[in-house]
């Protein structure tokens, strides 16, 4: 009976009924899209081990008042963090990749592919709790070494020890050795779009006026971030005094 009445209303008021149904459909679609976006935003990087204790080290921008900058030279963050016991891990790592073309010689063919690679140091990998699926992170030392996400290696049929030529066609003399694979972190997060890492140069080989590295750190459980920040400030003042400069 109710269904018959519904059909009668549809026939009698077809235009308004169609508008009501369309509006209801749009409302449900909007609620669904908003719920998906909210879930994505609140779960982003939450799958990173100890994400609640992981921080990016920033400083006031030199160019935009009230803004923060996240790039450092290689030595200052280490000097600020080296004597603070609440910091259990810290290192330079860039979580924004660049697409680079590679190729590999197979038994009867040459395979070409593109990898989205970033750069980091061994200590920076530790901050995010990355785990080796094969090989060793300690082998990531030479500029010609790289490590890949396990899912990327499986998709491309790559294994630790493979030599990847830079560029297409396996014609380049420049090649990289795959030294390690790391387990995928669950999405969504920084690592979704990254295929892997190459090492950053040792700090002693980088001029002190090159500000291009991001520094992340993980605090020990129960640490007070505000107290750690104050210790960093005091450490910075001491470093400036040691260099006979007046702190601002």
* pLDDT tens digits, 102-130: 999 988 889 999 999 999 888 888 888 88
**Does 15 share its domain with 61?**
no
**Does 160 share its domain with 78?**
yes
**Does 39 share its domain with 60?**
no
Q: Report whether the peptide linkage leading into residue 233 is cis, meaning its omega lies within 30 degrees of zero.
A: no
Q: What angle do CA 55, 56, 61 make, to 5 degrees?
A: 140
Number of domains in the chain: 2
Inter-residue contact 103 to 167 (CB < 8 Å): yes
**Does 31 share its domain with 100?**
no
Query: Which domain does 18 fall in, by range?
Result: 2-43
- In a 3-state reduction of DSSP, which class is residue 31? helix
The span from the CA of 62 to the CA of 118, in Å, is 26
**Does 159 share its domain with 233?**
yes
pLDDT in tens, the chain (248 residues): 555 665 565 566 566 666 667 777 787 777 777 766 665 555 555 666 777 889 999 888 888 888 888 888 888 888 888 888 999 989 888 888 899 999 999 888 899 999 999 998 888 888 888 889 999 988 888 889 999 999 999 999 999 999 999 999 988 889 999 999 999 887 777 788 899 999 988 777 777 778 888 999 999 998 999 999 999 888 888 887 777 655 45
**Does 64 share its domain with 88?**
yes
Residue 247 lies in a domain: no
Residue 245 lies in a domain: no
**Does 133 share its domain with 177?**
yes
Look at the pTM and tell me if it is higher than 0.95.
no
**Does 122 share its domain with 61?**
yes
**Does 63 share its domain with 179?**
yes
Sole residue written with tokens 């980088």? 206
Tens digits of residue pLDDT in 154-171? 999 999 999 999 999 988
H-state helical runs in 13-140 = 14-43, 76-81, 122-127
**Does 156 share its domain with 111?**
yes
**Does 109 share its domain with 224?**
yes
| Paired tokens of 105 | 């010689």
Nearest to 220 by CA among 45, 84, 78: 84
């Amino acid at each position: 009976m109710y269904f018959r009445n519904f059909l009668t209303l549809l026939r009698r008021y077809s235009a308004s009924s169609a508008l009501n149904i369309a509006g209801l459909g749009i409302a449900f679609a909007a609620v669904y899209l908003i719920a998906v976006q909210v879930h994505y935003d609140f779960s982003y990087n939450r799958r990173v081990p100890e994400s609640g204790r992981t921080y990016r080290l920033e400083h006031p921008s030199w160019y935009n008042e009230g803004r923060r900058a996240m790039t450092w030279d290689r030595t200052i963050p280490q000097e600020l963090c080296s004597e603070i016991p609440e910091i259990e891990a810290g290192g330079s790592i860039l979580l924004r990749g660049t697409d680079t073309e590679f190729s590999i010689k197979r038994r009867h063919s040459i395979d070409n592919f593109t990898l989205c690679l970033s750069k980091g140091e061994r200590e920076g990998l530790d901050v995010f709790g990355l785990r080796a699926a094969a090989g060793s992170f300690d082998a990531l030392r030479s500029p010609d070494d790289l490590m890949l996400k396990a899912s990327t290696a499986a998709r491309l049929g790559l294994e630790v020890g493979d030599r990847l030529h830079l560029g297409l066609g396996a014609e380049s003399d420049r090649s990289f050795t795959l030294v390690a694979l790391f387990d995928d972190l669950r999405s969504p997060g920084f690592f979704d779009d990254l295929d892997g890492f190459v090492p950053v140069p040792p700090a002693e080989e980088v001029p002190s006026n090159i500000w291009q590295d991001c520094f992340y750190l993980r605090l020990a459980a129960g640490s007070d971030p505000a107290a750690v920040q104050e210790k960093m400030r005091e450490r910075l003042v001491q470093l400036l005094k040691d260099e006979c400069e007046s702190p601002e």
